[in-house]
Structure 1
Amino acid sequence: MRLTLAFVSVAAATFALSSPAAAEEGMWTFDAVPTDAIKAAYGWAPDQKWLDHTRAAAVRLTGGCSASFVSNEGLILTNHHCVVGCLQNLSSADSDLVAGGFNAADRARELKCPGQQAEVVTAITDVTGSIRAAIGSLTGEALVKARDARIAEIESAECPDRDTTRCQVVTLFGGGQYKLYKYRKYSDVRIAWAPEFQAAFFGGDPDNFNFPRYAMDAAFLRAYENGKPAATPAHLKWNPRAPQEGEITFVVGNPGSTQRLLTETQRAFQRTERLPLTLLLLSEYRGRLIASMDESPEKAREGADELFGIENSFKALSGQFRALNDPAFTAQMAAAEAELREKVRGNAEIGDPWSEIDAAMAKRRDTYLDSVFLERGPASFSTLAGYAQTLVRAAEERAKPNSERLPGFTDSALPLTEKRLTDPVPTYPWLEELAVAFWASKAREYLGTDNDDIKALLGKESPEALAKRLVTGTRLADPAYRQQLWDGGAAAIAASDDPMIRFFARLDPRSREIKAAFDRDYDAPVTAAQARLAKARFAAYGDALYPDATFTLRLSYGQVKGWTERGKPVPAMTRIGGTYDRATGQLPYKLAEAFVTAESRIDKNGVYDFVTTNDIIGGNSGSPVIARDGSVIGTAFDGNIHSLGGNFGYDGTLNRTVAVSTAAIQQALDVIWPAPALAAELKGGKRR
């Protein structure tokens, strides 16, 4: 979901941080859908057959988005902004697929998206007992190692076929539950259709995270298997009708992360440490990037996706920061925590987990800057540096038994790690130098010139000189070289004279020390405390609770419904003709070329975008909006400005999901960027 800055007070919100969820609140796991609550609110609820079919049609994209199968031949509906990275990677100076869009004339011309993988949940199993038994009475780093080892063992045992399956154990309620998610994966994902960028992001930043909206933020991918379109009999029926005011809607997808269960101390850390620092870094990096992009049209094109992501992150985090500085909002959160503490006061089994988290947070503050600037180093900003860190660390981790490896390098994770490392993706030397130099300058600024780590890593070089030496000297832009180092393992890494590899060979031991300290001083005590906090919530409020988002499959329910903004009603949907009324001829309100040429053929009264009361967050981008009959009537791509507080809570009177309707997408396929074969496939026909 594209998140943007909003000047919004959340004082009126009624957040259920610890108590049972209010109607329409919640991102529910598929093994705990509150059908009784849905039926009480709407007089109807989906049965198990409906849920099973929908789960089998829902897709997770490894780029951080959601999607759904909409034909029996692997066709995937998602958002344009979920494929813009793919389009950027496939573009060149002579062929800008971001600006011009992409429309494969036939399947032979559908293009593979580097690094992309589509995943479908096939089973969810509770493994809490097994992991708690492995943890036992352990504390500190031993707790983390035992937990991670058991997770690695479960994932490896449950998914021996790593070509087509992936297993992932997910921590829920901060350690109160552990669930094993088993996925059917498709590692060959290709772009089939995408509109012009100016249509997908019409209105730009001024309209982003606002409504009314006039955005064609939709695209189609296709999953392939053995070089052929994948057979996907479980798919959603395409339903290009307009949404109806008040109808029940379901959004099924993978919300990335929420923090609705944080303690007061953890929220204070977000407000005073993490968010201010992150916003400062993003703001300065954005400025440097824009200045470089202004140097030439080619740099403007090459840096566009990077800038798009940075601006999106900045706006999202700005909204979180404003929410945590709203006195009325924070007072409500404090009151919710006080209520929970009172309800479980004197329960010896629960004890005082809040104080344990307080102590862990105090230690976290002391080591936070080391984690920010040294644990990943320039890999936080640079693609090439990210390759180097992965290769150096993988060489050591892959030599260990599976149960002793760090997360990301276990048997279950290695196939995706290798794919993302070795798939061909263009890199741009000027952008890589900018990224490495920015990291070096900020690390030196925040840690200090006299810091031993900074002296060891920078030596006598300036940040700019270090960046130039590492980027101009590395061969890591070549996927064949990356594959060679991956295949060669520790011996190849030790023998490599690549300056980026050598840099991370020096940094990695210190990076591991920082992670070990984090595991010992924060992760372990907080995991133990949060497990008891989960017990406290269940004891106080029963099991009608949903866990924080974890980029795993969830279902939310709601209805098509507008809201009242400063005393005036905001309608639930917009019409395509409103695009022309909104257009000014200047960016960001300049019409896409196809909107100009096809104007006489477009049904301007057709529904374009619409809003619902579904509870979503970033990661839900591309999620299908599903009607009661199980058909797809839209794809979610954003929230309104009030949903910024959704990271910490939900207010059904104001929070809204923003979606592009299938009715509008159908017009796009029929008359704006005609794709007759795709349109026929969606209607159930065969595509040649």
Structure 2
Amino acid sequence: MKKCKFLFFVLFLSFQVLAQQGGMWLPHLLKGDRETEMKNLGLKLTAEQIYSLNQSSLKDAVPQFDGGCTAEVISNQGLILTNHHCGFDAIQNHSSVAHDYLRDGFWAYSLKEELPNPDMVVTFVVRIEDVTSSVLAGTENITNETEKQKKIQQNLSELTKNLPKESWQENLIKPFYDGNQYIRFVTETFKDIRLVGAPPSAIGKFGSDTDNWVWPRHTGDFSLFRIYADKNNRPAAYAAENIPYTPKHFFPISIKGIRENDFTMVMGYPGRTQEYLPSYAVEQIMNTLNPAKIDVRDAALKIQNSFMRKDQAIKIQYASKNSSIANYWKKWIGETKGLKKSNALAAKEAFEKELTEKINKAGKQGEYGNLLGDFKTYYTEIRDYALARDLFTEVVLRNTELLQTGYKLVQLEQLYQNKGEQAFTERKNVLYKGIDAFYKDYHAPLDKAVFEQLIALYAQRLPKAFIPSVLENVDAASLTNEIYSSSALTNLEGFRKLLEGDTATILANMRQDKGYQLVKSITETYLKLVAPKWEEWNAKIAATQRKYMKAIVELSPKSARIFPDANSTLRVTFGKVKGYKPSDGVYYEPFTTLEGVMEKYIPGDYEFDVPEKLIQLYNAKDFGPYANKQGKMPVAFIATNHTTGGNSGSPALDAEGNLIGCNFDRVWEGTMSDIYYSPEICRNIMVDARYILFVIDKFANAQNIIKELKIITPQTKNKKSKK
């Protein structure tokens, strides 16, 4: 009996620990329940040390990187660490066949060698505050949803412009809980960001698409940049006289080692989650939308990969595009698999049943009683429109390059019709000058092969009511040959020639082009038959979702873990280093080492080649102070932190706020955490800080970088930086 009681107690504690994980929390609201949860898991810091207005805190070392990733400041000279795949575009743009930094890596051994990156930015959060009452002022008696949103947008515009800030700062106001709350972020954006270091892709992208979203993982996914500021340490455009930025805080890097069940915390800018979707939406994602998008990208990737494997120049041209396409292709596959494995649909239905009981108990049937019935109706009605919209986006806007460029011209003609000749001319001039970058990385034979596959798929998968007349009973091969043998959209010179002459000449030439005719026909059909109805039903869904979210917050106890969905704002998530069991009879340890890299090594392979110097260091066991206690070189580890896209590059921190890794991925089976988080199988993947330092120190011999870091060793007494 005593053993049974003890076992029950242990299981209860285990459940409590699991329950205290998951969630993406605003850092200024950690005091209270969240701080208690974090301390129960092992945190040694206070909430004030994570977010503070009056003194330096962890938030001051975590900027958003270039609008879509996260970075962390790791020195008092503005050095920042992010992922290799976050810096990939910059590394590619600096590369050529003669100087292939993707293949060979890049290291600046002095400040003078660091490479500027036009248009790259990093943005810090200065302070956060609730402005809900100001945003919703004057909307209390507005019953029309369109008019209500119009008033909210007016308020947002005025507040963004007029709320106090320094001249070099910006106001950013974001909706939370589906528009039931609004939070203001005062930010500072730095615009002089220079490339400092990047390992070769054989390290930074090791495993490439095969290992993407997969554990065990052996990828050194990191790169280094530096923030430059003016003489007053404020944001400034690139200038030779700019100096390295002095941060309010930077992260010491710990090489003490990591053990299973250690506390971990990740800070960053997660992009988008949908944790509170109703069961009807989840079913539609699993069974209709994801399968269609997966099929489109699968076809495009197979063709791109076949070309890239045969030609180094094409590999460089399409490296970034291919990686971008593959990323969410594989994510959607894992997401669908994870939703089914975790029985997310049943969990959503159970939650809805419980919420209905709360609504009835509170006597709120008049306000909330029709929510689930409305969801069922709206998601049934929007299904075909949502499928058509996703197919249009995937085929026309993202994965077929001729259709992408043609769509830009369709928008140009629409601009002429809606806003007149001056607007047309301004946009035309921007297109004429700016299209070089697109065609620099364009290969017509590759795009032709993609086009033939995707246009056939589009005609096949599109609901019959929305098929453009030009694609009815289409012969994809014949159409492809006709367009790619005649359209000016297949090369830079042809595209530019279409935009030469007066407005009437340009419009006439565009309308005679076969490629343009096709894109225009597809677009007009979409805009006439799909977009208006999708917008109509989606507006009803959004209004219902907002009321649904209000009901959840209102009827849940204060202790409930109701965190706001991700929306590219600064968040904190926390958990433990932990292995997991993806399927019956399989268990994965939470750590990988350089041994695994060598086990996967395939000489000359596109994904699994290994640099000769790394092989030499491995054979000599020349790991410096970065080896673990078993004498092996750590590479990556996993934990239960709740992350998503946008958390790429996020700092992984220990209980004392030291950097122990750089977040870069999630396990395949756990990618459904955007919709349904399960601490049993959801794991984020991080490059171990020791591997990062090993590559910088032993592989690149970049001692200039090592010297400016604060490294915490087992013998170091950790004193918090006051920088």
What is the TM-score when the length of structure 1 is the normalising length?
A: 0.80
Q: Which whole-Å CA distance do the structure 2 matches of 1:383 and 1:223 have between them?
A: 34
How far 1:391 sits from its partner (Å)? 8.2
User: Contact 1:636–1:659 at 8 Å: present in 2 too?
Assistant: yes
Q: Which whole-Å CA distance do the structure 2 matches of 1:492 and 1:229 have between them?
A: 50
Matched, 1:32 2:29: yes
Q: 1:632 aligns with which of 659, 663, 671?
A: 659
User: Contact 1:140–1:520 at 8 Å: present in 2 too?
Assistant: no
Task: Report the counterpart of residue 427 of structure 1 in structure 2.
Answer: 441
Tell me the alpha carbon deviations over residues 337-367 of structure 1, each in whole angstroms, 9 at most, x when there is no partner. 2112221124133332222222322332242
Q: Which whole-Å CA distance do the structure 1 matches of 2:169 and 2:195 have between them?
A: 22
Q: Which whole-Å CA distance do the structure 1 matches of 2:517 and 2:600 have between them?
A: 54
Matched, 1:341 2:341: no
Q: Which whole-Å CA distance do the structure 2 matches of 1:399 and 1:120 have between them?
A: 41
Query: Is the alpha carbon distance of 1:324 and 1:41 closer, same or farther for their aligned partners in structure 2, counting shifts above 3 Å?
Result: closer
Task: Report the counterpart of residue 238 of structure 1 in structure 2.
Answer: 252
Unaligned runs of 5+ in 1: 1-15, 402-413
How far 1:93 sits from its partner (Å)? 2.3
Task: Report the counterpart of residue 356 of structure 1 in structure 2.
Answer: 374
Task: Report the counterpart of residue 274 of structure 1 in structure 2.
Answer: 289
Q: 2:641 aligns with which of 592, 604, 614?
A: 614
Tell me the alpha carbon deviations over residues 95-148 of structure 1, each in whole angstroms, 9 at most, x when there is no partner. 222121111233333223455322222233334334444655454655555544
**Equivalences for residues 33-182 of structure 1 within 5 A:** 33=30, 34-42=34-42, 44-52=44-52, 53-62=57-66, 64-113=68-117, 115-133=119-137, 137-139=142-144, 141-142=146-147, 145-158=150-163, 165-182=169-186
Q: Which whole-Å CA distance do the structure 2 matches of 1:550 and 1:584 have between them?
A: 40
Q: Which whole-Å CA distance do the structure 2 matches of 1:262 and 1:424 have between them?
A: 39
User: Contact 2:488–2:494 at 8 Å: present in 1 too?
Assistant: no
The letter for the 2-side match of 1:519 is E
How far 1:672 sits from its partner (Å)? 0.6
Q: 569-578 or 628-637, which moves further after superposition?
A: 569-578
Tell me the alpha carbon deviations over residues 16-70 of structure 1, each in whole angstroms, 9 at most, x when there is no partner. 9xx9992122111223222132234437552324323222211212363211122
The letter for the 2-side match of 1:613 is T
The letter for the 2-side match of 1:638 is D
The letter for the 2-side match of 1:255 is P
User: Contact 1:76–1:220 at 8 Å: present in 2 too?
Assistant: yes
Q: 2:315 aligns with which of 300, 308, 319?
A: 300
**Equivalences for residues 378-417 of structure 1 within 5 A:** 378-381=396-399
Tell me the alpha carbon deviations over residues 636-660 of structure 1, each in whole angstroms, 9 at most, x when there is no partner. 1222344233223333344322212
Query: Is the alpha carbon distance of 1:658 and 1:91 closer, same or farther for their aligned partners in structure 2, counting shifts above 3 Å?
Result: same
How far 1:284 sits from its partner (Å)? 1.4
**Equivalences for residues 288-327 of structure 1 within 5 A:** 288-294=303-309, 296-326=311-341
User: Contact 1:558–1:614 at 8 Å: present in 2 too?
Assistant: yes
Task: Report the counterpart of residue 683 of structure 2 in structure 1.
Answer: 656
Local SS of the residue matching 2:63: strand
Matched, 1:672 2:699: yes
How far 1:220 sits from its partner (Å)? 0.5
Task: Report the counterpart of residue 409 of structure 1 in structure 2.
Answer: none
Q: 1:556 aligns with which of 573, 580, 584?
A: 573
The letter for the 1-side match of 2:537 is D
Q: Which whole-Å CA distance do the structure 2 matches of 1:181 and 1:383 have between them?
A: 37
Q: Percent identity?
A: 22
How far 1:274 sits from its partner (Å)? 0.9
Matched, 1:541 2:556: yes
Query: Is the alpha carbon distance of 1:458 and 1:144 closer, same or farther for their aligned partners in structure 2, counting shifts above 3 Å?
Result: farther
Q: Which whole-Å CA distance do the structure 2 matches of 1:493 and 1:234 have between them?
A: 53
**Equivalences for residues 388-537 of structure 1 within 5 A:** 424=437, 426-430=440-444, 431=446, 433=448, 440-447=455-462, 453=468, 455=470, 462-466=479-483, 469-472=487-490, 515-522=531-538, 524-537=539-552
How far 1:595 sits from its partner (Å)? 0.1
Q: How many pairs were matched up?
A: 647
Tell me the alpha carbon deviations over residues 282-318 of structure 1, each in whole angstroms, 9 at most, x when there is no partner. 1111223234435534323322333333232221101
Query: Is the alpha carbon distance of 1:343 and 1:190 closer, same or farther for their aligned partners in structure 2, counting shifts above 3 Å?
Result: same
How far 1:537 sits from its partner (Å)? 1.3
How far 1:322 sits from its partner (Å)? 1.8
User: Contact 2:402–2:490 at 8 Å: present in 1 too?
Assistant: no
Q: 75-84 or 365-374, which moves further after superposition?
A: 365-374
Q: RCO greater where, 1 or 2, for CA within 8 Å and sep 6 or more? A: 1
How far 1:247 sits from its partner (Å)? 3.3
The letter for the 1-side match of 2:272 is S
Local SS of the residue matching 1:282: helix
Q: 142-151 or 243-252, which moves further after superposition?
A: 142-151
How far 1:384 sits from its partner (Å)? 7.4
What is the TM-score when the length of structure 2 is the normalising length?
A: 0.77
Q: Which whole-Å CA distance do the structure 2 matches of 1:445 and 1:84 have between them?
A: 35
Task: Report the counterpart of residue 715 of structure 2 in structure 1.
Answer: none
Unaligned runs of 5+ in 2: 1-14, 229-235, 420-426, 712-723
User: Contact 2:334–2:669 at 8 Å: present in 1 too?
Assistant: no
Matched, 1:23 2:41: no
Q: Which whole-Å CA distance do the structure 2 matches of 1:165 and 1:504 have between them?
A: 41
